[in-house]
Amino acid sequence: MSADRQRIDKWLFFARVAKSRTLAAKLAQGGHVRVNGNKISQASQEIKPGDVLTVTLERRVIVYRVVDCGTRRGPATEARMLYEDISPPPLPKADNALDRMAGKREPGAGRPTKKERRALDKLTGEDD
């Protein structure tokens, strides 16, 4: 292995994309990582500076351009030196009236209380 290349699982761990190297390997083997647009299936895939990585995480997609290969898992400031973040900006939240009113109800709307259910049962004769 040459000094300007590094395994994808090590790089993801050093760049703090994954919490452990095992999780980084699972990301790569699970098909959640693309190198220059090509899906990879091995944690031993080598990357080099200039490669573009697309990583699909649980709730977001991140796109990094590899700037350097790491030598250790250092602090976050050191990890940020390994990549350039070229991720697209997150989509804006939907701005419609239903989303703003979620979870709010007018008094009296919705399910009846226990007292109201008993009164309905008594009225309909189902209180046997």
Q: pTM here?
A: 0.70
Is position 70 within any domain? yes
Is position 80 within any domain? yes
Is position 77 within any domain? yes
Q: Nearest to residue 71, comparing CAs of 62, 82, 63, 84?
A: 82
- Assess contact for 2 and 41: CB atoms under 8 A: no
CATH code at position 64: 3.10.290.10
Read off the pLDDT band of 1 (50, 70, 90). Answer: very low
**Domains held by the chain: number:** 1
CA 104 to centroid of chain Cα atoms? 29
Q: Does pLDDT of 16 surpass 50?
A: yes
Is position 105 within any domain? no
**103-127 tens-digit pLDDT:** 666 777 778 889 988 988 888 887 6
Place of tokens 């419609």: 96
Average pLDDT taken over every residue of the chain? 87
Read off the pLDDT band of 96 (50, 70, 90). Answer: low
